[in-house]
């Protein structure tokens, strides 16, 4: 998995992405090799609730030429040098006019900031503060941005893995930032690994929906099309962002706080990831804001490692390959697959013997007292499971009553079902 993650990272890294345009489409087509998706194009001007799809932006080149003839802030050297969505310009000007369009981070002098202008037609350049301080104050500069801002469309991709039930689990991530590693590429790459694992899963109970879209406006457009369906069919959802750095896993709750997604995530992290953080829903974040908005209020939380805005490399050129860990991406993938396994196991189970404990020996489920090799822990887990299988408690409640991970009951559930001792119930 790690080699595959790095290979696709290296292919996606140089592409200048935005909320629309060819860079977004190219990136989606690369992910499409891992996750066969249906691509959707939403035309410019389409009204999506309180928003409208903006014009499509594409860029070929950009640079500043200094009075001494040196080119700086070159787009082809680093695509963060240009304010994302800058309008085209080819103009000469002095220092005083130029600096009105320059963005730096004085407290991080070696970092190029990431700045956007999606909904306001202007232009700008980003550079390190070290480079800014070396700008000549006399003479004439030339600024050049070869971009286009025209009617087009917004693109998103969606893939669905059918299960035996119409009940759904959602995985959602964004693919719209230029060259940033943790805050951009980690989410889509981890989500692609989750898809590949679930595609191989036999007998899926849930139907799994995977969405790759531009952040905010892309999910607003998506919900304008599919939101009513999700309100009826979605049991749990997870937004993936910033899940590739070496920090401990963080889970951000849905607005419900105790929805199935919250219960599953918190349960798995409690038993398998003791160094983790749980944070309540807040509007500062990613696309969980849209899924949890009042008109939808869907059961969608977010999986993160070091949270956006809380690590210094965030939205800068320092969020690069050196900052991330492909091992951490693998670890995040494995955590999400544990979420899935618990979701698939979690039911309200009802034992077929409700009065006193069942006679397990006659069913070959209880070891002979002289057997020194029997697994006492596994036996007690099974007896605990049967004792609580009253049709009212789900597996998460049963597991928590024994202070064990729900995953340790997998074998007991399978055996009890094979022996006709329990059945799922809709109570």
CATH number at residue 180: 3.40.630.10
| Pair 337, 354 in one domain | no
Task: Using the 3D structure, point to which of 97, 127, 150 is the last residue of a domain.
Answer: 150
| Pair 304, 338 in one domain | yes
Give how far Cα 418 sits from Cα of 340, 344, 381, 412, 422, Å. 22, 17, 16, 10, 9
pLDDT at 359: 87
For the chain, the C-alpha Rg in angstroms (whole number) is 26
Task: Compute the distance between CA of residue 254 and CA of residue 230 in angstroms, rounded to an integer.
Answer: 15
358 and 421 Cβ atoms separated by less than 8 Å: yes
| Pair 146, 157 in one domain | no
- Among candidate residues 187, 307, 299, the one with its CA nearest the CA of residue 240: 187
Q: How would you class 57 by CB atoms within 10 Å of its CB: exposed for 0-12, middle for 13-18, buried for 19 or more?
A: buried
Per the listing, tokens 């899940």 go with 243
pLDDT at 305: 95
| Pair 75, 169 in one domain | no
Mean pLDDT by 10 residues, the chain (427 residues): 96 98 98 98 98 98 97 98 98 97 97 97 98 96 98 98 97 97 97 98 96 98 98 98 95 96 98 95 93 97 92 95 97 98 96 88 77 75 92 95 95 92 82
Task: Using the 3D structure, point to which of 98, 127, 150 is the last residue of a domain.
Answer: 150
pLDDT at 209: 98
Task: Compute the distance between CA of residue 37 and CA of residue 23 in angstroms, rounded to an integer.
Answer: 17
Tokens of 354: 């409700």
For 101-125, b where at least 16 C-beta lie within 10 A, e where not — what string? bbbbbeebeebbbbbbebeeeebbb
Task: Using the 3D structure, point to which of 101, 122, 150 is the last residue of a domain.
Answer: 150
CATH number at residue 421: 1.10.10
pLDDT at 362: 87
422 and 413 Cβ atoms separated by less than 8 Å: yes
Backbone angles phi, psi at 393, to 5 degrees: -95, 140
Which pTM does this prediction carry? 0.95
Strand 102-103, strand 47-48: pairing:
unpaired
| Pair 286, 163 in one domain | yes
* Domain with 410 in it: 348-425
Tokens of 237: 């959802």
CATH number at residue 68: 3.50.30.90
Structural domain count of the chain? 3
| Pair 251, 185 in one domain | yes
Cβ neighbours, 10 Å, residue 206: 21
* DSSP-assigned letter for residue 286: S
Tokens of 248: 């401990």
| Pair 139, 211 in one domain | no
- Among candidate residues 402, 32, 53, 72, the one with its CA nearest the CA of residue 210: 32
Per the listing, tokens 């004085």 go with 106
| Pair 295, 386 in one domain | no
Strand 89-93, strand 348-351: pairing:
unpaired
pLDDT at 373: 56
For 149-163, b where at least 16 C-beta lie within 10 A, e where not — what string? beebbbbbbbbebeb
Task: Compute the distance between CA of residue 265 and CA of residue 119 in angstroms, rounded to an integer.
Answer: 36
| Pair 307, 223 in one domain | yes
Cβ neighbours, 10 Å, residue 298: 24
408 and 381 Cβ atoms separated by less than 8 Å: yes
Task: Compute the distance between CA of residue 268 and CA of residue 342 in angstroms, rounded to an integer.
Answer: 8
| Pair 169, 271 in one domain | yes
| Pair 64, 49 in one domain | no
Strand 390-394, strand 249-252: pairing:
unpaired
| Pair 303, 360 in one domain | no
């Amino acid at each position: 998995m790690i080699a595959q993650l790095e290979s696709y990272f290296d292919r996606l890294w140089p592409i200048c992405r935005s909320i629309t345009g060819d860079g977004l489409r190219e990136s989606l087509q690369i992910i499409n090799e891992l996750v066969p998706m249906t691509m959707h194009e939403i035309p410019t001007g389409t009204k999506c609730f309180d928003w409208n799809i903006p014009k499509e932006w594409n860029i070929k080149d950009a640079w500043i030429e200094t009075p001494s003839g040196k080119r700086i802030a070159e787009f082809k050297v680093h695509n963060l040098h240009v304010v994302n969505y800058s309008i085209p310009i080819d103009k000469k000007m002095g220092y005083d006019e130029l600096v009105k369009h320059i963005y730096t981070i004085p407290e991080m002098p070696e970092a190029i900031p990431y700045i956007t202008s999606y909904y306001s037609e202007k232009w700008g350049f980003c550079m390190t503060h070290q480079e800014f301080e070396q700008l000549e104050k006399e003479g004439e500069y030339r600024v050049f941005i070869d971009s286009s801002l025209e009617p087009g469309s917004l693109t998103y991709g969606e893939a669905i893995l059918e299960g035996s039930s119409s009940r759904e689990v959602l995985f959602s991530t964004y693919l719209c930032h230029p060259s940033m590693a943790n805050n951009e590429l980690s989410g889509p790459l981890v989500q692609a690994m989750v898809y590949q694992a679930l595609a191989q899963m036999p007998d899926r109970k849930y139907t799994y929906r995977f969405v790759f879209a531009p952040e905010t406006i892309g999910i607003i457009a998506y919900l304008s099309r599919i939101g009513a369906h999700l309100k009826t069919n979605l049991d749990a959802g997870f937004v993936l962002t910033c899940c590739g750095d070496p920090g401990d896993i963080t889970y951000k709750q849905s607005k419900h706080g105790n929805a199935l997604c919250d219960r599953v995530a918190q349960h798995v992290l409690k038993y398998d990831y003791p160094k983790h953080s749980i944070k309540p829903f807040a509007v500062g974040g990613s696309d969980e804001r849209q899924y949890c908005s009042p008109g939808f209020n869907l059961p969608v939380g977010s999986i993160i490692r070091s949270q956006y805005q809380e690590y210094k490399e965030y939205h800068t050129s320092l969020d690069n390959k050196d900052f991330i860990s492909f091992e951490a991406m693998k670890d995040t993938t494995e955590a999400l697959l544990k979420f899935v396994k618990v979701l698939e196991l979690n039911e309200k189970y009802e034992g077929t013997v409700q009065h006193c404990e069942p006679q397990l020996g006659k069913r070959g489920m209880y070891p002979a007292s002289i057997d020194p090799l029997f697994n006492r822990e596994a036996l007690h887990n099974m007896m605990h499971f049967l004792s609580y299988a009253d049709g009212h408690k789900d597996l998460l409640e049963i597991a928590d009553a024994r202070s064990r991970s729900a995953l340790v009951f997998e074998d007991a559930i399978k055996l009890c079902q094979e022996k006709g001792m329990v059945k799922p119930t809709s109570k």
